[in-house]
Structures are given as structure tokens and as C-alpha cells.
């Protein structure tokens, strides 16, 4: 677990509650590094402070990842709000990440 | 974070590659999105429920291996090496390029705790404290330990460590770094030895030494500076005290010397002069002593600016004193005239250009009443009597000038001719200035004008007081007053004096002086033998004198 953030501040009509996510990575491996960077950029742009992110290293705690039903890393899961969602890969496809997180992309 | 790279730790490393590996992956990953991500090269690892571990894909494995290699090569470049301990704090690994040159070998420490290793610089108490830290699972830093290597050389290492935990947060042991700090320690020890040597030398000096900063605060004082604490002015100035303040606060007889010393030290601090020298006399319960004080500019960098040293030169002074008659008053100690000492530096500097040190000898008449005043004098350690002559009588003393004053004050008041006789009573030095030059300087310097007007007023008041005293007070009280005044101007409790001379000065018959001196001697206030007067009890003598002494002293 690397970082947790939580602060109430809505930035758009789509985001009214805190989004809780878990990102599963394999230490410092290239796709894992990329996934962390991509997700941080997306959160900064669309969620501001309205999110909680837990980063789990499967090399350190593999049993935790298995228990959570993770098959490959990097994987991102949205825990809440419902519905739960999962996306795999290095999160470079921004629109599918936003879709999985239930964030509507602004029209501008 | 410690990566559990079991797949990487094999030796030789076996890459996760080949058709068998691919089949295994495909077997594990059946879902469409996951397979797509693998094909797109966006996956680093696949979970294997059978082994409960993550299988790194070849690319990720290679990247992490490179990371590790990079850390290893950086470690090889550094002076540190790494170690690991198990749950019982026993060393289980000891790696790094620098470990070979440290003099500490695997067999010295592997399987042993730090306590059992050949380190010998920590006491049992230190070890217990360290052990407590470990039990708290605390990170420790820069624990410095000493050992003797196989060559018999003393070595020092610095150890830092942090606890490690497994996935279930169970304590696994400690790991950390070790660094050879032998060289640094050797230099430190050498530096400490040098500092101690310098300090011992400083304390072994026979003279008292104070090192001051720019504010006059004592930042260092040697041992002798605190030993003859009864030696008057500035004797009890410890580290942290302010030397200048002590001088400024000096009272009574020490005021003049205090002011002169403070002014001199300030001058050195301001960079106006590299050296200041002052000789003075002070009285201590142990007796009278001569002190020689020198302030020199401190050449080094840092806060220190002035070094003040002080030496008791009583012995040397005693030997220097010329024997025999001809000196009515013993030579005093102070080298500075307090009127000059009271001037601001700028004014003093300008005046100094026209001042010439001269020696005035006993019996010398500087001028007679009515004479044009050619020179003014600022006595340093001589004493001059001002006498008024009345036809048909002996000259009567109306003033006594020492280092606190000036001879030729009439010039400052606009009179070119003398109104009194100036007779040297005690041989010594004075600063002399040409009257014309003095007139010019006097007009230019407001502080000098202020000082001299104040002094002229004091002299006038003294003359008034003396006149009244001579008319109304007993001979005994007047003798006591004169002795005390002379003592203040000479800066000494002992001075040669004949009764005839004193009778002349006071305008009384010799027998009157004899009776008075005898009475004072019987009360053990003074002693008198072979032409030398010695004041034994200053306080008692003050009580015996008329109030005029107090009045004149406070002017």
C-alpha cells in the first residue's frame, strides 16, 4: 500500500462521491511504472482529491492479489461506488479507464 | 520495499521464456481482456494460484534484473556494504565490494549477532540500549563500532539498519549498510588531540589570557585568568562575561584604568590599531600589584577578534625602581591619561599627532605665575603640584594634577599666561603639546572642549574647597586629605615624602605636620620611615580626613 488520498471536493457533475480504487503492480516493472503514472495523471485531471488509491505490489504480497481475484498485473479495480469494475494493462487508454471508473469525459 | 524476486535469484538466472512458459501462461489466463493485454505487451506478471506467487513475464523480469544490477553496481562504487540479519539478529549475509577491504570477513560475523562480533567499543549498557531498539523494531543509524582487524589495526565501522517484514507483517530480521569510517575516526582523534594540546598550552601560560569577540564577550579564558581573582579590575571575567562591560563598570580608583582599557580594546576591535598596551596598579587583599595589559587583534577567522593578556609585573617594577632620593613621589603604573582616554577615537587620533611623550623630573618647574604657557601637559604617571605664591610666605598648594588631569588648562579658558606655579612632585612621563597647536585642536574638537571644561570646573571647585579646608580644618585632617589625594593621583599606597615638604605645601609649620603624622601613625593609618609614607588603612584615613577629600574625589 503506497498512498491514500481522501478529500471532499467535487469537480464535475459526474463525480460526487469518493472513488476507491486498488492498483495491482509488479514492483518497478515497466508496465507497472507506466500504469502508476497514467493513473496518477487521470486522477489529477478528473478526480482531483475525490479518490482513495491503494497500490498493491504482487511480488511482495502475492496472496493478497490472488485473494482479490487478480490474474495479471497491472490491474486496476474500482471498489466503490458500485458497480465494481476492473481494467487490465498499463492504463494508457484513457477513455477506457474513465469508462471503467464511471467518469464521463467532458465535452470540451 | 523488498521485491520477492524468487524468479530472479536463481544462479545462473533462468529466464521465464520458451514454449513451455507460454503454455503455462495461456493455461493460467483464460479471460479475453487479460489475453489481449498480454498480447499488447501491457502485462508484467501473471498470478499462479498453484504456487501462490507471481510469474514475471520475460520483459518485466529483464527490466527488474537490470534494476537490481544497477543497484549492485552503484553499491560496488560506494564505500558501503550491505548486511542482513535473521529474526535472532544473527548476520546471514554480508555483501558489497567494499566489504573485502574493511578488514571484517564473513567468518568474523556470519552466524553471530553484533554483540558476539569482534566489536569492542560498546559497554554492556550500550549493548542493552541497542538491543532494546531492535526489539522495538526501530531503525537505527550511524552506530559507530570499533574492532581490531587481523593485522592488529584498529578499525571503525558505522552501521545503519532497518527491520524487515514478510507479506504477513511478520518480523524477518534486520538489513542495512556498514561503512568503513576508520580514516575519519583517525582524523577526528588527531584533531581532538591537537585541540587538547592547544588548550593545555593555553592554560599553562603564566599570563592571564582572554579571547574576546567583537562585542567584548569572553569566548575563551585560560586557567590563570581565574586564579588571582582578587587582582582588581577585570580579574573575575569568566567565559561568557563581557570584558568591556566589566571595565566600563569599574568604580573608584579603577575607573580611570577601566575607561582607558575599554577604550583601547574597542580601538583594537574597530581595527583602528593592531595593539593596545596599558600598565596599571591595583590593590588586592594580597597587596599592591602592577599589571601589564596588552590587547592584540586576532588574526584568525571566526568570531574571535581580540586577545587580551595580562601579567603581574610587580617584581619587574620593583627592580626597575631607581633607588635614592630625588623622587618625592613613587612612579605610578598607569600609562594613560584619563582625559585623553575619555575622548572618542577620532578626536584622540587627531590630537595624538601633536602629542609628544616627555619625562618630567622631580623639582622641575613647568611655569611660574605670569609666565606665558608654551606647552600643555597630560600626565601619564607623573604628579604635578599647582602652587600659589604669596609675597613673604612659602608657596601654598592649591591643586594636585596627576593622570586624571592636565597642566595648562588656562589655555583652554582663553588665558595665555600661567596663574600658578607648576612644580613636578613625582618623576614620570606626560604627553606634551605645543600651546598653539593645542589651541587649534581645542577649537576643533567638541568632545575635548567638553572634557576640559568639566575638568576646569572640577579644578576650580577643588581650589575653592582647598581654600576653605586650609582655613577651617585641622592640620591632621588636611594631612590625611593630602595623602589620600596624592595616593589617588600616584595610583599607589606608598610614596616618598618629607615632612618639611608637606608642611610647605599645606602652609603650616613643620611641627604641626609632625604632630599630625604622628597621630595618624599611632592609629595605624599610615606608617612613616626614612622619607617614605605608606598608607596602611585607606578607609581609616578617609575617616580621619575632612569631608573635603570626598568632595574633591567626586568632582
Instruction: Answer positive or negative: Cα dihedral of B539, B544, B550, B552.
Output: negative
What is the predicted pLDDT for the residue at B323?
A: 44
Whether the CB-CB separation of B10 and B49 falls below 8 Å is answered with no
Q: What is the Cα gyration radius of chain B?
A: 43
Q: Number of residue pairs across A and B with CB atoms under 8 Å?
A: 100
SS3 B96: coil
Please tell me whether residues B251 and B289 are part of one structural domain: yes
Please tell me whether residues B37 and B111 are part of one structural domain: no
Question: Does a structural domain hold residue B171?
Answer: yes
Partners of residue A65 in chain B, C-beta under 8 Å: 47, 54
Please give the backbone phi and psi of residue B139, each rounded to the nearest 5 degrees, phi first: -80, 135
pLDDT confidence bin for B15, thresholds 50/70/90: low
Question: Does a structural domain hold residue B418?
Answer: no
Q: Which residues pair with B134 in a beta bridge?
A: none
In B286-355, at which residue ranges do the beta strands (DSSP E only) sit? 287-297, 304-312
What is the predicted pLDDT for the residue at B359?
A: 82
B176 vs B251, which has greater pLDDT?
Answer: B176
Instruction: Give the minimum alpha-carbon distance from A50 to chain B in angstroms, rounded to a whole number.
Output: 27
| Mean pLDDT, rounded, of chain A | 80
- For residue B146, what is the domain's CATH number? 3.30.450.20
Please tell me whether residues B64 and B91 are part of one structural domain: no
Q: What is the pLDDT of residues B182-220, one digit of tens each?
A: 888 889 989 999 999 999 998 888 888 998 988 889 888
Please tell me whether residues B49 and B108 are part of one structural domain: no
Give the span between the Cα atoms of B206 and B212, in whole angstroms. 19
Cell 590587547 belongs to B295
pLDDT at B105 over 80: no
Domain count, chain B: 4
CB contact under 8 Å between A71 and B34, yes or no, is yes
CB contact under 8 Å between B5 and A27, yes or no, is yes
What is the predicted pLDDT for the residue at B224?
A: 81
pLDDT confidence bin for A10, thresholds 50/70/90: very low
Q: What would you measure as the largest C-alpha separation in chain A, in angstroms?
A: 43
Q: What is the pLDDT of residues B331-367, one digit of tens each?
A: 333 347 888 888 888 888 888 888 888 888 877 889 9
Question: Does a structural domain hold residue B457?
Answer: no
Q: Is A27 on the interface with B (CB under 8 A)?
A: yes
Instruction: Search chain B and give the residue with CA nearest A34.
Output: B42
What is the predicted pLDDT for the residue at B38?
A: 86
Partners of residue B37 in chain A, C-beta under 8 Å: 72, 88-89
Question: Does a structural domain hold residue B213?
Answer: yes
Question: Does a structural domain hold residue B392?
Answer: no
**Quick one: what percent of chain B has pLDDT higher than 90?**
8
| Torsion angle defined by CA atoms of residues B94, B96, B100 and B101, in that order, rounded to the nearest 10 degrees | -120
| Mean pLDDT, rounded, of chain B | 81
Final residue of a structural domain among B204, B237, B268: B204
Taking residues A83-100, what's their average pLDDT?
87
Cell of A85: 469494475
Which of B43, B52, B64, B69 is the mutation pick for testing A, counting most A CBs within 10 A?
Answer: B43
Partners of residue A88 in chain B, C-beta under 8 Å: 33-34, 37, 42-43
**Alpha helices in B406-474, H assignment, sequence order:** 409-412, 435-444, 446-472
Whether the CB-CB separation of B384 and B366 falls below 8 Å is answered with yes
Whether the CB-CB separation of A26 and B54 falls below 8 Å is answered with yes
CB contact under 8 Å between A58 and B52, yes or no, is no
SS3 B71: helix
- CATH number for A19-81+88-101 (one of 3.40.30.10, 3.40.50.880, 3.30.160.40, 3.40.50.300): it is 3.40.30.10
Final residue of a structural domain among B76, B92, B108: B76
Give the span between the Cα atoms of B103 and B84, in whole angstroms. 18
Q: What is the pLDDT of residues B416-425, one digit of tens each?
A: 888 888 988 8
Partners of residue B165 in chain A, C-beta under 8 Å: none
Nearest CA-CA partner of A89 in A19, A21, A25: A25
Q: Is A26 on the interface with B (CB under 8 A)?
A: yes
Q: What is the pLDDT of residues B491-509, one digit of tens each?
A: 778 877 777 778 877 778 8
Taking residues B68-90, what's their average pLDDT?
80
- Domain limits at B12? 1-76
Question: Does a structural domain hold residue B354?
Answer: no
Question: Does a structural domain hold residue B516?
Answer: yes
- Mean pLDDT check: name the lowest of B4-13, B230-239, B444-453, B540-549: B4-13
Final residue of a structural domain among B180, B204, B228: B204
Taking residues B394-403, what's their average pLDDT?
81
Taking residues B275-283, what's their average pLDDT?
80
Please tell me whether residues B108 and B199 are part of one structural domain: yes
pLDDT confidence bin for B13, thresholds 50/70/90: very low
Partners of residue B67 in chain A, C-beta under 8 Å: 28
CB contact under 8 Å between B56 and A29, yes or no, is yes
Cell 580579574 belongs to B235
Cα–Cα distances in angstroms (integers) from residue B535 to residues B132, B410, B503, B529, B531, in the given order: 72, 33, 18, 12, 13
Whether the CB-CB separation of B43 and A88 falls below 8 Å is answered with yes
Instruction: Name which of B28, B42, B54 is nearest A89 (Cβ-Cβ).
Output: B42
Instruction: Give the minimum alpha-carbon distance from A87 to chain B in angstroms, rounded to a whole number.
Output: 8
Give the span between the Cα atoms of A21 and A17, in whole angstroms. 13
- Helix and strand numbers, DSSP H then E, in chain A: 3, 5
Partners of residue B60 in chain A, C-beta under 8 Å: 26, 29-32
**Quick one: what percent of chain B has pLDDT higher than 70?**
87
pLDDT confidence bin for B169, thresholds 50/70/90: confident
SS3 B56: strand
Three-state SS for B247-283 is: HHCCCCCHHHHHHHHHHHHHHHHCCCCCEEEEEEEEE
Cell 600589584 belongs to B289
Which of A55, A63, A88 is the mutation pick for testing B, counting most B CBs within 10 A?
Answer: A88
Residue B152, judged by CB atoms within 10 A of its CB (0-12, 13-18, 19+), counts as exposed
ipTM: 0.79
Q: Is A1 on the interface with B (CB under 8 A)?
A: no
> pTM score, two decimals?
0.38
What is the predicted pLDDT for the residue at B68?
A: 81
Cell of B155: 578499525
Q: Is A66 on the interface with B (CB under 8 A)?
A: yes
CB contact under 8 Å between A30 and B44, yes or no, is yes
Whether the CB-CB separation of B261 and B244 falls below 8 Å is answered with no
Cα–Cα distances in angstroms (integers) from residue B529 to residues B56, B286, B489, B510, in the given order: 112, 22, 21, 16
Cell 524476486 belongs to B5
Nearest CA-CA partner of B269 in B292, B247, B237: B247
Q: Is A47 on the interface with B (CB under 8 A)?
A: no
**Alpha helices in B353-445, H assignment, sequence order:** 409-412, 435-444
Instruction: Name which of A27, A30, A31 is nearest B3 (Cβ-Cβ).
Output: A27
What is the predicted pLDDT for the residue at A44?
A: 85
What is the predicted pLDDT for the residue at B286?
A: 57
Question: Does a structural domain hold residue B462?
Answer: no
What is the predicted pLDDT for the residue at B329?
A: 35
- Of all helices (H) and strands (E), which one includes residue B208? strand B208-213
**Alpha helices in B18-98, H assignment, sequence order:** 19-28, 32-39, 58-77
Instruction: Answer positive or negative: Cα dihedral of B100, B101, B107, B109.
Output: negative
**Please, which residues 88-107 of chain A have a Cβ atom closer than 8 Å to chain B?**
88-90, 92
Please tell me whether residues B121 and B200 are part of one structural domain: yes
Give the span between the Cα atoms of B307 and B74, in whole angstroms. 51
Please tell me whether residues B487 and B504 are part of one structural domain: yes
Which of B42, B68, B69 is the mutation pick for testing A, counting most A CBs within 10 A?
Answer: B42
pLDDT at B1 over 50: no
B371 vs B283, which has greater pLDDT?
Answer: B371
CB contact under 8 Å between B47 and A63, yes or no, is no
SS3 A73: strand
Cα–Cα distances in angstroms (integers) from residue B60 to residues A59, A69, B46, B69, B72, in the given order: 12, 21, 11, 14, 18
Whether the CB-CB separation of B430 and B360 falls below 8 Å is answered with yes
Amino acid at each position: 500500500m503506497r498512498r491514500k488520498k481522501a478529500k471532499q471536493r467535487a469537480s464535475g457533475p459526474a463525480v460526487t462521491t469518493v472513488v476507491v480504487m486498488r492498483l495491482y503492480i509488479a514492483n518497478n516493472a515497466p508496465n507497472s511504472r507506466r500504469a502508476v503514472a497514467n493513473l496518477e495523471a487521470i486522477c489529477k485531471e478528473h478526480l482531483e482529491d475525490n479518490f482513495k488509491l491503494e497500490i498493491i505490489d504482487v511480488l511482495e504480497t502475492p496472496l493478497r492479489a490472488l485473494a482479490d481475484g487478480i490474474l495479471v498485473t497491472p490491474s486496476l479495480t474500482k471498489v466503490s461506488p458500485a458497480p465494481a469494475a476492473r481494467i487490465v494493462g498499463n492504463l494508457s487508454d484513457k477513455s477506457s479507464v474513465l469508462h471503467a471508473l464511471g467518469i464521463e469525459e467532458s465535452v470540451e | 520495499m523488498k521485491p520477492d524476486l524468487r524468479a530472479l535469484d536463481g544462479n545462473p538466472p533462468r529466464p521465464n521464456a520458451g514454449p513451455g512458459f507460454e503454455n503455462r501462461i495461456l493455461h493460467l489466463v483464460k479471460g479475453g481482456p487479460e489475453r489481449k493485454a498480454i498480447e499488447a505487451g501491457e502485462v508484467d506478471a501473471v498470478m499462479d494460484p498453484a504456487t501462490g506467487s507471481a510469474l514475471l513475464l520475460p520483459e518485466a523480469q529483464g527490466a527488474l534484473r537490470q534494476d537490481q544490477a544497477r543497484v549492485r553496481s552503484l553499491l560496488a562504487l560506494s564505500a558501503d556494504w550491505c548486511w542482513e540479519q535473521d529474526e535472532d539478529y544473527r548476520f546471514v549475509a554480508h555483501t558489497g565490494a567494499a566489504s573485502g577491504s574493511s578488514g571484517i570477513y564473513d567468518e568474523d560475523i556470519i552466524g553471530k549477532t553484533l554483540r558476539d562480533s569482534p566489536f569492542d567499543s560498546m559497554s554492556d549498557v550500550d549493548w542493552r540500549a541497542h538491543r532494546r531498539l531492535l526489539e522495538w523494531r526501530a531503525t537505527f543509524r550511524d552506530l559507530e563500532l570499533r574492532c581490531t582487524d587481523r593485522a592488529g589495526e584498529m578499525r571503525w565501522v558505522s552501521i545503519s539498519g532497518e527491520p524487515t517484514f514478510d507479506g504477513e507483517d511478520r518480523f524477518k530480521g534486520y538489513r542495512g549498510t556498514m561503512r568503513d569510517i576508520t580514516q575519519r575516526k583517525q582524523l577526528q582523534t588527531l584533531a581532538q588531540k591537537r585541540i587538547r594540546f592547544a588548550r593545555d598550552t593555553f592554560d599553562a601560560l603564566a599570563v592571564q589570557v582572554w579571547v574576546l569577540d567583537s562585542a567584548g564577550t569572553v569566548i575563551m579564558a585560560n586557567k590563570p585568568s581565574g586564579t588571582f581573582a582578587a587582582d582588581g579590575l577585570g580579574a573575575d571575567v569568566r567565559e561568557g562575561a563581557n570584558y568591556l562591560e566589566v571595565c566600563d563598570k569599574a568604580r573608584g580608583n579603577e575607573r580611570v584604568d577601566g575607561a582607558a582599557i575599554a577604550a583601547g580594546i574597542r580601538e583594537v576591535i574597530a581595527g583602528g590599531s593592531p595593539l593596545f598596551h596599558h600598565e596599571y596598579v591595583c590593590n588586592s587583599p594580597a597587596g599592591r600589584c602592577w599589571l601589564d595589559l596588552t590587547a592584540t587583534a586576532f588574526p584568525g577567522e571566526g568570531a574571535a577578534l581580540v586577545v587580551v593578556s595580562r601579567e603581574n609585573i610587580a617584581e619587574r617594577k620593583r627592580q626597575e625602581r631607581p633607588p635614592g632620593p630625588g623622587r618625592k613621589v613613587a612612579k605610578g603604573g598607569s600609562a594613560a591619561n584619563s582625559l585623553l582616554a575619555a575622548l572618542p577615537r577620532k578626536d584622540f587620533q587627531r590630537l595624538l599627532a601633536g602629542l609628544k611623550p616627555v619625562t618630567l623630573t622631580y623639582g622641575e618647574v613647568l611655569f611660574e605665575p605670569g609666565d606665558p604657557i608654551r606647552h600643555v601637559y597630560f600626565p601619564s604617571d607623573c604628579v604635578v603640584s599647582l602652587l600659589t605664591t604669596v609675597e613673604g610666605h612659602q608657596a601654598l598648594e592649591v591643586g594636585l594634577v596627576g593622570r586624571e588631569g592636565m597642566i595648562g588648562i588656562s589655555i583652554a579658558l582663553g588665558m595665555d599666561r600661567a596663574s600658578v606655579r607648576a612644580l613636578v612632585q613625582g618623576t614620570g612621563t606626560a604627553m606634551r603639546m605645543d600651546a598653539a597647536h593645542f589651541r587649534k585642536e581645542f577649537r576643533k574638537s567638541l568632545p575635548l572642549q567638553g572634557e576640559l571644561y568639566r575638568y576646569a570646573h572640577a579644578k576650580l571647585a577643588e581650589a575653592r574647597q582647598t581654600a576653605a579646608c586650609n582655613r577651617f580644618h585641622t592640620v591632621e585632617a588636611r594631612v590625611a586629605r593630602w595623602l589620600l589625594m596624592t595616593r589617588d593621583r600616584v595610583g599607589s599606597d606608598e610614596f616618598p615624602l618629607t615632612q618639611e615638604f608637606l608642611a610647605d605645601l599645606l602652609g603650616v609649620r613643620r611641627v604641626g605636620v609632625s604632630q599630625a603624622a604622628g597621630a595618624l601613625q599611632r592609629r595605624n593609618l599610615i606608617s612613616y620611615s626614612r622619607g617614605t609614607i605608606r598608607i596602611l588603612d585607606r578607609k581609616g584615613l578617609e575617616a580621619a580626613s575632612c569631608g573635603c577629600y570626598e568632595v574633591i574625589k567626586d568632582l
